[in-house]
Amino acid sequence: MPVFWPVGHVEHVMGTVVSFDLRIADESQRPAMRAAITSAVSWLHRVDGVFSTYRADSQISRLGRGEVRLADCDPDVAEVLELCATVGRETGGFFSSTYAGRLDPTGLVKGWAIQRASELLHAAGSSNHCVNGGGDMQVVGEPQPGDAWQVGIAHPLHRNELASVVSIRDGAVATSGTAERGAHVLDPFTGRPAETLASVTVVGSELTRVDAYATAALAMGDAAASWLESCPGYEAFAIRADGFGWWTTGYPRVATVPES
Amino acid sequence: MRRFVTVFVATVAGLVILLSFKTTTSKSGPPVALSGTTPGSPDPASSPSATAAQSTPAGNGPASAPPSTSSASAAPSTSSAKAAPSKPASGTKTVTGTAVPASEGGRRQFGIVTVQLTVTNGTITTATVVSWPHNDQHSLQISSFAIPVLNSEVVAAQSAQIDAVSGATITSDAYAQSLQAALDKLKA
């Protein structure tokens, strides 16, 4: 019975921690996979340099101040801003690429960058991996032959305990919550922190939208249940600040659901 | 043993959307198209929105109280929706319209929401969702129990059963203390 071996790497980038977990069937693949990780990591740092709102000299900061035109920026900037506009429409405006009146596509960049990093790894020959950026991940293939990736969903009200486990082969999982940085997601329409849900997890195929949808769902609160139910290809699991929860009707097909 | 509480949230959800549009129309928000005006006050008994506004929790225990709604601003509107029709002021009229979120080819959208507005002396006093998008179930099932943690044996960091953890562990400090960090150490 063949066994996959892990090739791991942890990188601090984009204001978070990105965990690479590649699986190889043959040790001879290890050098190539190490090189692939190195390339993906350097690409993530390049993205950080272009999109960081914490760096005054990043292209996104200069664009926000009107010092450069979009046409003068890296083509990725136009792609990301276009995606922000599209996702904004898809979420009825609950996903927004402005924060405090300033241009801030941060809510989309991380998921987009991790999805792209996964695609880079795949193009370099990695057909089994998980790239997890601060709890939001794109997974490809299997962790072991015949197995699906088992993704634990952190319980937002119980530190380092899980509330559910998602089984996924190719796809994305993202969790947006208030636990980490307080109520950092604002309802774009009221300007007030979104506090109904302690966390909401979205499962889908591509992390760019999965991550942005999780952010939007947190801002929507319970209304996100109806919205995500109407989104084909997406499932969701939410734990409210009061400890009660809900999930989409298809979620039990991809994950364990809590038992009382 | 599990029980669910069925809470009708279409009203609240729709209000969130509707109020959202009101907030953004001053700039470049999605259009709100109003069609089919209905002068006069509706009969509260036959109004589907009046029914939807009533939360109908089932069961008892901790779940017997209706869960808090997602929008504080929706609550007063919902309660006044029940009161408004019973006292038709001279300057009151009800308008049934359709809010159409802009999509422009976007793959996902809220869909079409039919909203009933009560306008008193030129001011919208209540807004109630009459119908919700096609494939929606008009209801949200909230667990009747607090979501428990999984058996610790299953989630121990050493367990081969968990490959990664999804959660809001964004900062380096939070990561260092997280299950994901423990998992990463095993694969370094």
Domains of chain A (ranges plus CATH)?
5-255 (3.10.520.10)
- Rounded to a whole number of angstroms, the distance from the CA of A164 to the nearest CA of chain B is 7
Q: What is the mean pLDDT of residues B82-98?
A: 52
pLDDT score, position B6:
39
Least reliable range by pLDDT among A81-95, A246-260, B155-169: B155-169
Residue from A20, A220, A246 to probe the interface with B (highest B Cβ count within 10 Å) = A246
Please indicate whether residue A169 or residue B72 has the higher confidence score (pLDDT).
Answer: A169
Q: Which residues does chain B have within 8 Å of residue A256's beta carbon, measured at their own beta carbons?
A: 150
pLDDT score, position A135:
94
Q: Which residues does chain A have within 8 Å of residue B111's beta carbon, measured at their own beta carbons?
A: 230
- Rounded to a whole number of angstroms, the distance from the CA of B67 to the nearest CA of chain A is 9
Band (pLDDT 50/70/90 cuts) for residue B186 is confident
Tens digit of each residue's pLDDT (9 = 90 or more) over B35-85: 333 333 333 333 333 333 333 333 333 333 333 333 333 333 333 333 334
d(CA A248, CA A217): 12
pLDDT score, position B170:
67
Band (pLDDT 50/70/90 cuts) for residue A136 is very high
**Average pLDDT taken over every residue of chain A:** 91
Tens digit of each residue's pLDDT (9 = 90 or more) over A11-40: 999 989 999 999 999 999 999 999 999 999
Q: Give the three-class secondary structure for A259.
A: coil
pLDDT score, position B95:
64
Band (pLDDT 50/70/90 cuts) for residue A175 is very high
Closest CA to B103 of B14, B24, B17, B31: B31
Selected residues 154-173 of chain B with any CB under 8 Å from a CB in chain A: 154-155, 161-172
Tens digit of each residue's pLDDT (9 = 90 or more) over A195-208: 889 999 999 999 99
Please report which residue ranges of chain A form alpha helices under DSSP H: 30-51, 59-64, 75-90, 106-123, 207-220, 223-229, 251-254
Q: What is the mean pLDDT of residues A184-201?
A: 80
pLDDT score, position A168:
96
Least reliable range by pLDDT among A57-66, B13-22, B179-188: B13-22
pLDDT score, position A1:
62
Q: Are B142 and A240 in contact (CB < 8 Å)?
A: yes
Q: ipTM greater than 0.90, yes or no? A: yes
pLDDT score, position A164:
94
Q: Is the pLDDT of residue A223 over 50?
A: yes
Q: Is the pLDDT of residue B117 over 70?
A: no
Out of A19, A225, A256, whose CB is closest to B140?
Answer: A225
**B16 near A CB under 8 A:** yes
Q: Is the pLDDT of residue A72 over 50?
A: yes
Selected residues 116-135 of chain B with any CB under 8 Å from a CB in chain A: 132-133, 135
Least reliable range by pLDDT among A42-56, A242-256, B96-110: B96-110
Q: Are A229 and B137 in contact (CB < 8 Å)?
A: yes
Band (pLDDT 50/70/90 cuts) for residue A87 is very high
Please indicate whether residue B36 or residue A178 has the higher confidence score (pLDDT).
Answer: A178
List of long-range contacts for A115-123, beta carbons under 8 Å, 24+ apart: A115/A172, A115/A206, A115/A207, A115/A208, A116/A43, A116/A47, A117/A18, A117/A40, A117/A43, A117/A44, A118/A207, A120/A36, A120/A39, A120/A40, A120/A43, A121/A20, A121/A22, A121/A33, A121/A36, A121/A37, A121/A40
Please indicate whether residue B135 or residue A240 has the higher confidence score (pLDDT).
Answer: A240
The residue of chain A nearest to residue B157, with distances taken between CA atoms, is A160
- Rounded to a whole number of angstroms, the distance from the CA of B70 to the nearest CA of chain A is 5
- Rounded to a whole number of angstroms, the distance from the CA of A224 to the nearest CA of chain B is 8
Selected residues 33-72 of chain B with any CB under 8 Å from a CB in chain A: 63, 67-71
**A136 near B CB under 8 A:** yes
**A28 near B CB under 8 A:** no
Tens digit of each residue's pLDDT (9 = 90 or more) over B125-179: 555 544 444 444 446 788 889 999 887 655 554 445 789 999 876 677 778 888 8
Out of A153, A181, A225, whose CB is closest to B166?
Answer: A153
Q: What is the mean pLDDT of residues A234-257?
A: 95
Q: Is the pLDDT of residue A153 over 80?
A: yes
Q: Are B149 and A7 in contact (CB < 8 Å)?
A: no
Q: Are A154 and B67 in contact (CB < 8 Å)?
A: no
Beta-carbon pairs below 8 A across chains A and B: 247
Q: Is the pLDDT of residue A132 over 70?
A: yes
List of long-range contacts for A242-249, beta carbons under 8 Å, 24+ apart: A242/B67, A242/B68, A242/B146, A243/A157, A243/B146, A243/B147, A244/B63, A244/B67, A244/B142, A244/B143, A244/B144, A244/B145, A244/B146, A244/B147, A245/A163, A245/B142, A245/B143, A245/B147, A246/A222, A246/B140, A246/B141, A246/B142, A246/B143
Q: Are A226 and B146 in contact (CB < 8 Å)?
A: no
Please indicate whether residue A143 or residue B81 has the higher confidence score (pLDDT).
Answer: A143
